Copies of this chain bind each other. A is one copy, B any other.
Amino acid sequence: MNYINFTEDKLRTFTYHIFKHMGCSNEHAKLATDVLIRADLRGIDSHGVARLSGYVRLWEKKRINTTPNIKIVHETATTATIDGDAGLGLVVAPFAMRVAIEKAEKYGSGWIAVKNSNHFGIAGYHALMAVEKDMIGISMTNASPLVAPTFSKERMLGTNPMCYAFPASKYPPVIVDMATAAAANGKLEIAQRAKKHIPSGWVQNQAGEPSVNASELKEGGSLLPLGSDKDHGSHKGYGLGATVDILSAVLSGANYGPWAPPFVAFLEPSANPVGQGLGHFFGALSVNGFRPAQEFKDHMDNWIKRFKNAETIHPEQRVIIPGEPEFEFEQERKAAGIPLIDVVVNDLNQLAEKLGVEKL
């Protein structure tokens, strides 16, 4: 497995042209590019340009509308439901978060449920939009069903990430951005490429038996909820996944549970949908609505400092602040460039050739 290094600019230009080719407006292509590249910058490689050909395949299948009329279909002072018009989640999600932030500026908080959308990239991107305004940002989405509830062998929930982002003062923001499964798909893919077994507790086989096979999902198995088994609280991971599913999809009018449309284009969405497209949920909470923002951020600094100094088990370890590794990646990759594995580069160049876009 070889890595090839690219500048941020190079990847941005490439990605922008792919989205333009798909028919996105300049503004939408720029925004979708920003969301994807931010994932690569932040070290969340599974959600960056590596997904580009997946979005293209969905667009080819006419499951993504690149000229969507994104609109508010239901609204109160601090809540709204948005119809994403089958647009790229990468574009629909920032639209929704902007509405949440506007409401929070006026009324202290804003809460948006989104239906009829698609995969929205990294949850952290959207939540961070609020943090820049001294707000607490919340973002979540449901996703293709891959996770089995406790005691079940059926794929009923997506890896359904939830993200909470909190502004700090001297330190970077605290960002809890996590799949509600024990391990997300990206980790399985890394083990597949390295031809390694995965730890027990990540997946089960088609019969619901424990498995360490990194390819188990391709053979009809399912991911396990955070907690892995009942003894270790898998009912909690299942409950969190359910929470994300209900807020994102039952509340908005999107497809929930096993009806959530698959991200991969070779699987068809349900013939009997219970809603429209995929669902998201966003929140913006103005810190000034609770206490002066600077006071909060100073205490956040103190919180971070104290947790950084928590006693470690082994001297060489450190206690990690949620969001810190991604922040460090971003500093490093902004300076030194973004490494992509050769498999991804080949995939992107084949895509470029097919679409008549300049190769990487």
Contacts and interface: CB of A to CB of B under 8 A. Distances in A.
A357 interface: no
Interface in A127-161: 136, 148-154, 156
A76 B302 CA distance: 26
B108 A111 contact: yes
A78 B78 contact: yes
Nearest to A166: B246
Contacts of A4: none
A319 interface: yes
Interface residues of A, number: 89
Contacts of A196: none
A289 B79 contact: yes
B290 A251 contact: yes
B239 A178 contact: yes
Interface in A216-248: 226-228, 231-233, 235-240, 242-243, 245-247
Given A291-B81, A303-B250, A310 B108 contact: no
A207 interface: yes
A239 B322 contact: yes
A299 B256 contact: yes
A174 interface: yes
Given A232-B182, A289-B111, A303-B250, A319 B152 contact: yes
A243 B177 CA distance: 11
Contact of A74 (B236, B246, B290): B290
Interface in A237-278: 237-240, 242-243, 245-247, 250-253, 256-258, 274-275
Contacts of A178: 233, 235-236, 239-240
Nearest to A228: B232
Interface string A176-204: 10111011000000000000000101101
A327 interface: no
A311 interface: yes
B236 A226 contact: yes
Contacts of A227: 182, 226-227, 232
A143 to B, nearest CB: 16
A228 B228 CA distance: 10
A176 B240 contact: yes
A257 B31 CA distance: 37
A90 interface: no
A286 interface: yes
B319 A149 contact: yes
A313 interface: yes
A310 B232 contact: no
A154 B311 contact: yes
A285 to B, nearest CB: 6
A307 interface: yes
B257 A303 contact: yes
Contacts of A307: 149, 156, 242, 257
Contact of A243 (B176, B242, B246): B176
Interface of A: 74-81, 106-109, 111, 113, 136, 148-154, 156, 164, 166, 174, 176, 178-180, 182-183, 199, 201-202, 204, 207-209, 226-228, 231-233, 235-240, 242-243, 245-247, 250-253, 256-258, 274-275, 285-291, 296, 299-300, 302-303, 306-307, 310-314, 317-320, 322
